[in-house]
Chain A
């Protein structure tokens, strides 16, 4: 079944790019969606929105930035729209890194490593899901292994500003996660 885009000969390129992006970053996009939406049904919907936004964005992608930078930008922007709609409906309130840092750290100690890892991950998601969009974009990118310079390119802030945010994030996470490590060493 042909699509209007196929008739114009554009679809293979766009769809190829989409397939490549999903091969490379599909798992990261799933993690990113979870960082923005806790409800599993709404998250499935958000993942599909992100995929659609990425697919559509390749119509205007000119290769001026790396594929990863582009995909993360589109994904974060779509997810940010999703959560700002939730804010408008009064479902959530965002916090800044400083406000979160002022909250008391958990003293909970997990009983074994597997349970500890699962709990640490759940708490990490809880913490991220309360953050302001820009802080959330930085922390998710950081946890995905992206370095400050590329995070700055994704977010659109200076590497120094991003570096400062990453420093605060590290301090916050270390304080929140029992100081000994994410699975309570």
Chain B
């Protein structure tokens, strides 16, 4: 890395700026630890609340509906709730926090966590919308088909949007892996 006058000047400018040195006591550290734990838990409770809501709704639907198609819809919905809970558990795992790892590895872990969250949400929405489509009573086939098709289309749209975001994360993860693999 050859030095040149300009970049040495930029480094000098950067390093000579006034900065404040913060120091934290053990008490401050304890407070911050509590705050971190609360913030981390907040990122996962939504998945569990949604999973609970889905589960309650589809179990209720299973008890009140009697046709095979409707029951299949309720079972698909229950599966969506279980899947969402499993994603929530995976996301809540502390292994994503890798403070001492190399920056590329830590960043990859963060992106992977978000990718799994997006993919999990996309699949859950698709499954629950499929479940809802099947739940509708097929008394008259034409309105039922239209309603089911609109529910499925909404699920597919949400799936396409969220999985596109997940693919963007995957692309960046692959780029970072390539950068990491080049390390001797």
A: which residues have CB within 8 A of B? 1, 3, 11, 15, 19, 22, 26-31, 34, 47-49, 51-53, 55-57, 60-61, 70, 73-74, 76-78, 80-81, 84, 88, 117, 120-121, 124, 133-134, 137, 142-145, 147-148, 152-158, 160-161, 163, 166-167, 170, 173-174, 177, 181-183
Expressed in whole angstroms, the Cα–Cα distance for A120 and B183 within the complex equals 34
Helix, strand, loop or mixed for chain B's interface? helix
Assess the B32–A49 pair: CB atoms within 8 A. Answer: yes
Residues of B within 8 A of A15 (CB): 26
Interface presence of B21 (CB below 8 A): yes
User: In whole Å, how far is B14's beta carbon from the nearest beta carbon of chain A?
Assistant: 4
Interface residues of B in 158-184 (CB under 8 A from A): 176, 179-180, 182-184
Expressed in whole angstroms, the Cα–Cα distance for A174 and B4 within the complex equals 11
User: In whole Å, how far is A113's beta carbon from the nearest beta carbon of chain B?
Assistant: 11
* Additional 11 contacts, C-beta under 8 A, given A22-B23, A183-B13: A26-B23, A31-B17, A77-B98, A77-B101, A84-B107, A84-B110, A124-B10, A143-B11, A157-B182, A158-B183, A158-B184
Helix, strand, loop or mixed for chain A's interface? helix
* Contact size range, B: 35 or more
- Nearest-CB residue, chain B, relative to A154: B103
User: In whole Å, how far is A18's beta carbon from the nearest beta carbon of chain B?
Assistant: 8
Assess the A26–B22 pair: CB atoms within 8 A. Answer: yes
